Amino acid sequence: MNAEGPAIDPRALRDAFGCFMTGVTVVTTLDSAGKPLGFTANSFSSVSLDPPLLLVSIANSSANLTAFAAGQGFAVNILAEGQKDVSGTFARPSEDRFAQTYWRRGPIGSPLIAGVSAWFDCAMEQVVSAGDHTILIGRIGAMEATPAPGLGYYRGAYVTPAQTAAQLPTGPDVVLTAILQADGQVLLMDDGHGGLTLPMARVGKEGVQSALAGLLAATGVPAEPGSIYAVYEDVALAQQHIAFRCPATIGKPAKGGFVELSAESVSDVTDPAMRIMLERLADESRIGNYGVYVGTHEQGRVTRIRER
């Protein structure tokens, strides 16, 4: 496969993510013999606009796991609303799911399915083990979005744009946390109740990347969007939390201040899940071996990041 494609316009990428992130997708790759492989997935996620990264997950029980994890890249094909049959084909066990599917190789090299609403052709960036699934992080080398409406899937049934958001139940709040690290220190703020907290913001219609950019700008110190450090659900509050580890430069923040990253210095962080996360970060920073936490605010699993 090719390692690079044409330059990706961040604005076009942001718009595409905003339009298609809830669509039914078929994730594809080529095995070592050049045979096309694929599976249906009803979600994928944006990781970064610069560099342009996205992620998908594949069950560890999948017969295609080895080929995808060892592959040079993969493509995410967002199906159009008239492609329910394609979704079914790639969701059922089959010796050759591409036998009745027209496809071509994309600019980066992975199979692109004809007639889709949009596609992203990616080179493999990282492979991360996460419980009973494996997370594939891809660097987007080429993409295309068409005017064709996308196909959605919710609670066991396909949905189309004709079914408005008002007809579907509302999901949990998504809350972003920014861990600004600089020279062995981390930015903490007054939580308004006599304790400390990290910079946080709810995600609205602007999406995760725009919300994170706004959160970092509001701190008043130079910082860059970094890698995902934790994803956990607070069941009681119906909130999904995503924490990003963001490299920063020590300056004069709009609120709060930088403190040493140690268990003692973060002891006044009032939220238990946040405090435990920072204590873990302090330990991992000393040895330079980081992991990603996935679970709830009470229990979960830390998986070490395996670089490619």
| Segments making up each domain of the chain, as ranges | 10-167, 173-307
Answer whether CATH 1.10.760.10 is correct for domain 10-167.
no
CA dist 268 and 188 (Å) reads: 10
Residue 22, CA atoms < 13 Å, CB-side half-sphere: 15
> What is the C-alpha separation between 124 and 122, in angstroms, rounded?
6
Q: Is 307 helix (H, G, I), strand (E, B) or coil?
A: strand
Contact 188, 256 (CB under 8 A): yes
Listed residue (240, 243, 223) closest to 293, CA to CA: 243
Classify domain 173-307 at the CATH topology level: Nucleoside Triphosphate Pyrophosphohydrolase (3.90.79)
pTM, entire model? 0.51
Q: Do 232 and 158 meet the contact criterion of CB atoms below 8 Å apart?
A: no
d(CA 29, CA 121): 10
Q: Are 2 and 107 in contact (CB under 8 A)?
A: yes
**Euclidean distance between CA atoms 231 and 47, whole angstroms:** 12
Per-residue pLDDT tens over the stretch 111-147: 999 999 889 999 999 999 888 889 999 999 999 887 7
* Calpha distance 229→242 (Å, rounded): 8
pLDDT, tens digit (0-9, with 9 covering 90-100), for 17-73: 444 445 688 999 999 999 999 998 866 787 887 888 889 999 898 888 999 999 999
**pLDDT reported for residue 17:** 47
